[in-house]
Structure 1
């Protein structure tokens, strides 16, 4: 909404004459500080800034729940706003992209958010964010890369972190290798190795981590990963090589020669 405000050329004084909110409070809202805004305020601004209604409302409602607003507060915040059950459809290209990547986005989100509701919500919110910023995405070098950045930011904002690193431990239980093992002893041994691997993976740079999650955890082909990230296949292979080199140095360090005194 702040970006739409800057692009509109409007001033706070102009908005203040059309929105029932003091100019200082409008400034706080557009800077993302202060109290969580009622929907009627956000809706009024969305009309003035020509923002899509449906994705903004869904994001507002989800964020209100995450901010621990009660259902009663949410309902009261919308009672003075005419809600409609028919929403304008997103751009055709947006819908096509979402249909193309949805299943793979869900797999990525599941690696960090094992709860189904959290996973589905993260992907749904990503698509709404993408709809709101669609023109920016079209103006970017690659719409697929733009969309992936939106997904990653959304998932990471909800992922538990340990010492600043995203936790992948729960994802170890979903690996294809483990699911293929039937012997219990083999499963236990593999589980220990997998947990150690994912702990080490959390140290990887963002691009290498994403490639390893998609390639190692879900065994997606290189070309498919490249399409999701919006980068050439050669870059995916490079990220994978560097990541494997780092992981091998951590998990299988070279033995030191001689015996220390």
Structure 2
């Protein structure tokens, strides 16, 4: 390896580390919401980071690098869930209501997207589980992790308008599942 190879490699590593610093908190928060086990979530994020690093030069050439890294994270979460199933372990969604459901409810109420009287936390959790994967992801990213629409758009490979549309659709479905209309009574 000559000096110019070292500089390029070092620059790539610095860029990768900055990328992970920027997105790592969201990745971990999302993995925790899906897997509901802190140690497993950390392990999954670390596996995703290894895979992102392995494809880093290709990912950097993509139009929206966070979208491609997000896809890798989702694959690792899926692999972890599949491993749980194969080992006969209960899936996270088959147990009690996670604490983050209350955070989603509180944020949606504050934003006047759901009334504060619509359904129990158990009903909200069941309704969240019935959402399509994309709608579920948008709700978790926006209301649990508090990410701005531009960051969510990058992760999902869409526009900010697409994010807002998906959020609206998800909230309409949640409200309908809880027996009301979005923002009813506000």
Q: TM-score range by the shorter chain?
A: 0.5 to 0.7
Q: Look up the match of 2:76.
A: 154
Gaps of 5+ in 1: 1-87, 180-188, 255-261
- Which residue is 1:107 aligned to? 29
Aligned counterpart, 2:60: 138
Alignment of structure 1 residues 61-140 onto 2, 5 Å: 91-140=13-62
**What is the deviation of 1:232?**
2.1
Aligned pair count? 155
How far did residue 177 of structure 1 move?
6.6
Q: Is the 8 A contact 1:142 1:230 kept in 2?
A: yes
Moved more, 109-118 or 152-161: 152-161
- Distance in 1 (CA, whole Å) between partners of 2:134 and 2:62 is 18
**3-state DSSP of counterpart to 1:172:** coil
Among residues 167, 175, 195, which one is paired with 2:93 in the alignment? 167
> Quick check: 2:31–2:44 contact (8 Å CA) kept in 1?
yes
Structure 1 residues 224 and 97: CA distance shift in structure 2, 3 A? same
Larger RCO (alpha carbons 8 Å, 6+ apart)? 2
Q: What SS does the corresponding residue of 2:98 show, helix, strand or coil?
A: helix
Contact 2:31/2:41 (CA < 8 Å) preserved in 1? yes
- Correspondence list, 1:227-238, <5 A: 227-238=154-165
Give TM-score scaled by structure 2 length. Answer: 0.68
Instruction: Specify which structure has the higher proportion of helix.
Output: 2
Q: Which segments of 5 or more consecutive residues in structure 2 lack a partner in the other structure?
A: 1-8, 86-90, 107-115, 182-186
Q: CA deviation at 1:110?
A: 0.8
What's the CA shift for 1:142?
Answer: 1.4
> Counterparts in 2 of 1:15-34, with a 5 A limit?
none
Structure having the higher Rg: 1
Q: Aligned Cα RMSD in Å? A: 3.3
Q: Distance in 2 between matches of 1:166 and 1:231?
A: 28
TM-score of the aligned structures, taking structure 1 as reference length = 0.50
